[in-house]
Amino acid sequence: MDFQEALNYIENTGSSGIKPGTGVIKELLGRLDNPEKGLNVIHVAGTNGKGSVCTYLECALNECGLKTGRYASPSVFRYLERIRLSGEDITEEDYAEAVSAVKEAAEGMEDKPTGFEAETAAAFKYFADKKADVIIVECGMGGLEDATNVFDSPLACVITSVSMDHMAFLGHDPEKIAVNKAGIIKKNTPVIISHMPHISCKGKDYDPAGILERETLARGGICIRADEDIIPADFENPLPGSYQKDNLNAALHTLEAVKEKLAGLFPDKSITSDIFLKGIAKASWPGRYERISDNPVIIRDGAHNPAAASALYDSLERDGYLNEGINIHLIMGVFKDKDYMEILRIMLPCAVSFTAIDLPDRRRGLPADDLVRAAGDVCDKLGLSAGPAISKAGSLSEALPHNLSAEMSCQDNPDTAELSAPDSVPKDVYVVFGSLSLMQLFNS
């Protein structure tokens, strides 16, 4: 099996779409001799912030000299970035080899694995074969019935900010969603609960962190609330956006919780708080409040649910971009199953223009025409009679200033792009948001 054949298998195996439950993947892993059993795992769930927390953890542990694996799906810029080891994407050859083993193991199964289940099993086999020291595993969705929830005794469980998303699968109120995320909690395991706001839903106030603490105690976990700020005063967070402070703080609490265990497992490595910070200082996470142009300012952010939109708005405000005299231009594409009406309600009041575009995945994406109509409806409901000019564009390049379209489409390496601060206060700020899948359009 070559790489393309492996991709075809992942795309076409099992039932299409999302299939919650761990029965199939546990059978599949058993047929692979349970590669997950020997892995040292930090398991991360949550609605928003998972990727950022995992990035901080990956950079910190790599800096210690540990062979650190990371599994997260879906990918944003490169397909193979979803499986990483020591800061490098899995190779096409290794990917094909791992998927080939999964395909062979699955042949005798009555219920075939979905693509996500097959790829998850392939990732765990790859990490086991490569003898990874520690791996960071990001839940695909939820926690309790997620295909990654197969670890008996992880080093730590982390739950980042919980909000309303994937309600059709996780529940229609914040408590049900939080309880589902809490499904990754294991007995006698440190459970780091990120600082997160209360949520108002249908006239009722919910405290997701409090719910998660209750669930941690009920399941016999060791509760660690990351409300105390342990970020050194002189440490500059390498990831922009006001919301990254809570993510960094959760990562630091996690590292402190596993430091002693890792030092015992790997006595030849330098596993200290100072080394953690040295690694974190090198972190980058494209597509999360990332300024990719200075003149005019262009910010891309994968905000795809109301909580993420609120965090984006707050970051714009803290940057001073919502000041009088600065024109905010919103460019948005979104999946049709997201609460795009609430996202629009949060973001439209700050804008002088709004442009809807289609996502690369036309099957799942909300058509730009529908998004335009939704934006008009929200403006009417908010009484924005002199609201933003609403339109659609055929492409991201068309929506951005024309003098920058060529630059944006041929940017070689957005992951490491370094941009200096503008010399003067910008007049126009373009914000591209609504889905992480939009981020790949900057390279297409």
Residue with tokens 């009088």: 324
Asked if 3-280 and 290-443 have one fold, the answer is no
Sequential DSSP letters for 308-341? HHHHHHHHHHHTTTTSTT-EEEEEE--BTTS-HH
Arithmetic mean of pLDDT, 36-46: 97
pLDDT at 194: 97
pLDDT at 438: 87
Q: How far apart are CA 148 and CA 25, in angstroms?
A: 9
Q: How confident is the model at residue 441 (pLDDT cuts 50, 70, 90)?
A: confident
Q: How confident is the model at residue 16 (pLDDT cuts 50, 70, 90)?
A: low
Q: How far apart are CA 67 and CA 87, in angstroms?
A: 9
Domain ranges of the chain: 3-280, 290-443
pLDDT at 15: 66
Q: How confident is the model at residue 164 (pLDDT cuts 50, 70, 90)?
A: low
CATH of the domain spanning 3-280, picked from 3.40.1190.10, 3.50.50.60, 3.10.450.710, 1.10.510.10: 3.40.1190.10
Q: How far apart are CA 405 and CA 367, in angstroms?
A: 22
Q: How confident is the model at residue 241 (pLDDT cuts 50, 70, 90)?
A: confident
- Reported as a single tens digit per residue, the pLDDT across 380-431 is 999 997 789 999 999 998 999 875 543 443 333 334 333 333 445 579 999 9
At 67, give phi and psi (nearest 5°): -80, 95
- Reported as a single tens digit per residue, the pLDDT across 199-234 is 888 888 999 999 999 999 999 999 999 999 999 999
- Reported as a single tens digit per residue, the pLDDT across 334-363 is 999 899 999 999 999 999 999 999 998 888
Could you tell me which residue, 154 or 197, shows the higher pLDDT?
A: 154
pLDDT at 405: 44
Q: What's the one-letter identity of residue 36?
A: E
According to the CATH classification, is domain 290-443 in 3.90.190.20?
yes
Arithmetic mean of pLDDT, 170-198: 91
pLDDT at 201: 83
pTM greater than 0.75: yes
